[in-house]
Amino acid sequence: MKYLAVCCAIIAGLAACAPAPDRYAVPVVAPGIQQRIAFRAVEVREVSLPAYAAADEIALEDETGRVVSDGAVLWADTPGRAVALEFSRNLAQITGARVASAPWPFETFADAMLDLRFERLVAGADGQFRASGQYFVGVPDGRRERSGLFDLSAAFDPLGGPAAIAAARAEVIAELAGFIARNGLR
């Protein structure tokens, strides 16, 4: 029993000595466009990310297509939650509609529900942050339901490190909000 207590104390001491990982927040970007849509209220119901993009580690796709990450370089927020909030904020700014990510916080229901399913959301060693996948717009009456594909990218300086990657993610998510406002919500 005493041996177990000593081992636990040693492990706790080593963990306390380990440096804390660096965390990077995604900056807020102004979308810079306005777009009217057919709905007054939109719920961003689901944001589905690939496993590497949903992890806390900031990933980078190298020249061979291998996705690598470092446990010492992390996103400041949980990626799924953060992308949903970034996208919702951008969509609200672009459209002027009431937009919120799930769970829907209002008493009256949304006019449309939006699901985003990313196939890819990663920074490349070539200086492009890529986002591709599908979106689905559900409407209670079913008459204006839509779906579509997206494939977008934002340039960044690979020598800029994680901060440059975070800024590129902010840019590509703002671009995605404009793309879906134009193509999926009109």
pTM: 0.89
Among 74, 62, 59, 76, which residue's Cα sits nearest to residue 25?
A: 76
Asked if residue 12 belongs to a domain, the reply is no
Asked if residue 14 belongs to a domain, the reply is no
Q: Count the domains in the chain.
A: 1
- What is the domain extent for residue 44? 22-183
Where residue 134 sits, what CATH number does that domain have? 3.40.50.10610
| Per-residue pLDDT tens over the stretch 12-23 | 443 445 578 999
Asked if residue 17 belongs to a domain, the reply is no
Asked if residue 7 belongs to a domain, the reply is no
User: How far apart (Å, rounded) are the C-alpha atoms in residues 150 and 46?
Assistant: 16
% of the chain at pLDDT higher than 90: 85
Question: In the prediction, which pLDDT does 16 show?
Answer: 47
Q: For the residues 91-96, what does the mean pLDDT come to? A: 98
Q: Which two tokens stand for residue 162?
A: 């994680």
Asked if residue 15 belongs to a domain, the reply is no
Asked if residue 4 belongs to a domain, the reply is no
Question: In the prediction, which pLDDT does 46 show?
Answer: 96
